Structure 1
Amino acid sequence: MLNGLHGGNADATDIFNMIGSNKDERVNILLLGLEHERSDTIMVASYNTKTKKADVISIPRDTYVDRDGFVNSANNKINSVYTVKGIEGLEEMIQNITGIEIDKYVTIDYDGVRAAVDAVGGVEVDVPFHMRYTDPYSDPPLDINIPAGKQIINGDNAMEFLRFRKTNYSGYSGYAEGDLGRIEAQQGFVKSAIKKALTFRLPKVVAEVFPYVDTDFSLSEATSMAASCVGLSADTINFHVLPGTTQTINGLSFFVMNQAETKDLVYKILDIQQ
C-alpha cells in the first residue's frame, strides 16, 4: 500500500503490474547511510540499465510511518525502523510508502564513506556557510569545523559535512530548513562524487569500496553493474525528495508525506502511464 500518516488506498501491486517488461531493465536500490546502528540517510535509487538514466529519492529521516503499537511517537519516524526491524523491515516500509519494490540494498558507515571519497580523490563542494558543531558525547566525539566556500572534501571530513544540520555555536548558522537543507547538500555531494567517479574506471572504484559496505550485491554483480554504467553521466541522474511537509505532532517534528504527489513522482520515475 502507498500509505502515509493515515494509510492509503493505492495498491503497490498495481504499480508492479504496470511496469511490465520494463522491470527487467530497472534496478531499485536502497542506499542507507548509518550512524552506528541508526539510519541517518535514506535514499532510493532507481536505475534504468537500458536508457542509462537514474533517479534518486531522498527520504527524510523524520518521515512519519505507521507502526503497530505506536502513534505520534518517535518510533513513528522512519529512521527508527532499521534499528528494530533491520534492512528487510526497512525495505518493506519503503515499499509500503512509495510502491517501489527494492531489489538490492547498500548500507555504508563512516569507514565506508571515507573509503568511497578517498577512492575518487575527494569531492568538490561549495560549503554554503561555516559549519560548526560539537558533540563530545558522540562515539567517536564529533567536532565539525568546515569553513564556507568551494573546496575539496576528503574522506576524513566527508561524514562531518554530510551529517551537519545545525550549529550549537553562537555566531554560526545552520540550514534554514533543517534536515531538508541537509538533504539538498547531501544530494549535491553525491552528484559531485558520481561525476568524479565517472572519470575513473568505475568498476575499480567499486571494488575498492566494496569491503567497506554491507550489501546483498555480490562483488561480481556490483562491478558488472558499474561496467554497465558506461554512458551514464551526472546529467542523467535526477534527484528528488519524498513529497511532503514538516509538521509538529504531539510535540515532535515529523515529515508527513503527500500521498498523491508521491504516487505521481513514482509513476513518472517508473514511466508508468496513469
Structure 2
Amino acid sequence: MKYFFKVFSIALICFLLAIGAGVYTYSKIYVPSEEEPGDLGEDNKGEDEENKGKDEEPKDPLQKAIASSNRVNFLLMGMEGPRSDTMIFASYDSKAKKVDMISIPRDTYYYTKGYDNADLRKINAVYGRSKAEGSKKAVEEILGQVPVHHYITIDYKGVEKIVESIGGVEVNVPFHMDYYDPTDKPPLRIDIPKGQRVLNGEQSVKFLRFRHNNDRTVGYPDGDLGRIKAQQQFMKSAIKKSLSLKLVNVVRTGFDYIKTDIKLSEALGYTAGVIGFDMDDISMTTLPGLPEDRTYNKVKSSYFIHDSEKIRELMMEIYNVQEETTVENKTND
C-alpha cells in the first residue's frame, strides 16, 4: 500500500480536473467491423473469475511483463447520469516513479451480447449495466488483457469543488465557446471568450463539456478527439498547480463526490509522498484508433474503433518489453 496514494493522488487530481461529459455528438462517424471487438455478457463472469485463479506462467511477452511488474493501474471515470462520459486509464510505475495516462474516447465501440441498440454499443454505456467492475473488464479487454486494479468515479459537482479548492486552472481557450441548451437540467449556458484565462470551477466544467456552438460553425474539427486534447491541456495545467499545494485538502474536497475502492484513511496516509513529483514523469496519450468513417446500421451514431495492434505496441512500450519477432525466432531455431 506504500505507493497507492501516490497513484491515487496524481490520478485522482488529473481525473477530477478532466471531466468532459461529451454529451453532444459532433465527432467523426466510425463503423464496427464485422467481428465484434468485445463481448461482456453476464455469462462470462463466472468463467473470468475462475480463470483468475489459475497459476499458469504466461507465455506472451506482454503478459510476462505484467505478471512481474509493480505497476498499479486505475480506471478513472467521469459520470453523466448512468454513463461514464470520460474514461482515463492511469498506470503508475512505483519503481520508475512514472505515470502513463490513456484517454479512452467515450464513443469507443464495444459490443455486449444482448445490448444491440446503437447507443449501447459504446464503452460509456457499459457502466449503466455492469457498474465499475464491468467497465474495468471492458477496458482490460480493449487494452489486451492489461489488468485494471482500481477505479475512481466522480460527477460534475466534484469537479467544480476540486477546481475551486486549488484556486482555478489556467488554460488557453482555442475559440469563443458559445453554446446554449434549454433542454438541459438546469439549462446549460456556455460563454467562455477565446484566449489565455484562469477558469473557476463552473467555467472549467463548461470548458471540458464544450464541443461546438449551436450552429456547429465553431468547435473542434476532430470532435471528441479534439475535446480529449483540450482535457489533456487542462490536466497538465491542473496537475502542475495541484502538486504545489497541500494535497490533503484537495483530496478531502474531492472525496465527498467520488466512488472508489480505495479507502480515504489509506489514501490520506500517503499524501506527503506526492510532493515533489515532476510533470516530466507524467505522460498522456489517447487510445489508438482506426481511421474509418461510416454509419452503423443506417443509424446516425458515432463510433471510435480501437486499433488492437497499435494498442498492443503502446502497452508493450509502457511495460518496457519488446515483441518477439519472427526473425529472432528463426535465428534461434
Question: TM-score w.r.t. structure 2 length?
Answer: 0.74
Structure 2: segments with no counterpart, 5+ residues: 1-31, 38-51, 53-57, 324-333
Cα pair 1:54 1:236 within 8 Å, conserved: yes
Match of 2:128 in 1: 83
Question: Once the 2 structures are TM-superposed, how far is the Cα of residue 103 of structure 1 from its aligned partner?
Answer: 1.1
Are 2:111 and 1:62 aligned? no
Structure 1 counterpart of 2:229, one-letter code? E
Cα pair 1:133 1:145 within 8 Å, conserved: yes
The verdict on how the C-alpha distance between 1:145 and 1:191 changes in structure 2, with shifts beyond 3 A counting, is: same
Are 2:83 and 1:41 aligned? no
User: Which aligned pairs between 1:169-188 and structure 2 lie closer than 5 A?
Assistant: 169=215, 173-188=218-233
Max Rg structure: 2
Query: What is the distance in 2 between the residues matched to 1:105 and 1:181?
Result: 25
Question: Once the 2 structures are TM-superposed, how far is the Cα of residue 84 of structure 1 from its aligned partner?
Answer: 1.6
Q: Secondary structure at the match of 2:293?
A: strand
Question: Once the 2 structures are TM-superposed, how far is the Cα of residue 96 of structure 1 from its aligned partner?
Answer: 0.7
Query: What is the distance in 2 between the residues matched to 1:208 and 1:135?
Result: 29
Q: Secondary structure at the match of 2:106?
A: coil
User: Which aligned pairs between 1:1-274 and structure 2 lie closer than 5 A?
Assistant: 5=33, 6=35, 14=60, 15-23=62-70, 26-70=71-115, 73-98=118-143, 99-169=145-215, 173-245=218-290, 247-248=293-294, 249-250=296-297, 251=299, 252-274=301-323
Give RMSD over aligned pairs. 2.2
Give deviations 1:120-154, integer Å, cap 9, x for gaps.
Answer: 11100000000111111112221111111000111
Match of 2:44 in 1: none
Greater relative contact order (CA < 8 Å, ≥ 6 in sequence): 2
Structure 2 counterpart of 1:160, one-letter code? K
Q: After the TM superposition, which of the residue ranges 46-55 and 258-267 deviates more from structure 2?
A: 46-55
Give deviations 1:144-166, integer Å, cap 9, x for gaps.
Answer: 11111000111112111111111
Query: What is the distance in 2 between the residues matched to 1:142 and 1:225?
Result: 39
Query: What is the distance in 1 between the residues matched to 2:220 and 2:202?
Result: 22
Query: What is the distance in 2 between the residues matched to 1:22 and 1:75?
Result: 34
Cα pair 1:247 1:253 within 8 Å, conserved: no
Cα pair 1:42 1:61 within 8 Å, conserved: yes
Question: Once the 2 structures are TM-superposed, how far is the Cα of residue 7 of structure 1 from its aligned partner?
Answer: 5.4
Cα pair 1:63 1:256 within 8 Å, conserved: yes
Structure 1 counterpart of 2:85, one-letter code? D
Q: Secondary structure at the match of 1:193?
A: helix
Q: Secondary structure at the match of 1:262?
A: helix
Percentage identity across aligned positions? 45
Q: Secondary structure at the match of 2:284?
A: strand
Match of 2:329 in 1: none
Question: TM-score w.r.t. structure 1 length?
Answer: 0.90
The verdict on how the C-alpha distance between 1:104 and 1:159 changes in structure 2, with shifts beyond 3 A counting, is: same
Structure 1 counterpart of 2:66, one-letter code? I
The verdict on how the C-alpha distance between 1:225 and 1:183 changes in structure 2, with shifts beyond 3 A counting, is: farther
The verdict on how the C-alpha distance between 1:111 and 1:72 changes in structure 2, with shifts beyond 3 A counting, is: closer
Cα pair 1:63 1:254 within 8 Å, conserved: yes
The verdict on how the C-alpha distance between 1:230 and 1:123 changes in structure 2, with shifts beyond 3 A counting, is: same
Q: After the TM superposition, which of the residue ranges 264-273 and 58-67 deviates more from structure 2?
A: 264-273
Question: Once the 2 structures are TM-superposed, how far is the Cα of residue 83 of structure 1 from its aligned partner?
Answer: 1.3
Query: What is the distance in 2 between the residues matched to 1:152 and 1:70?
Result: 42
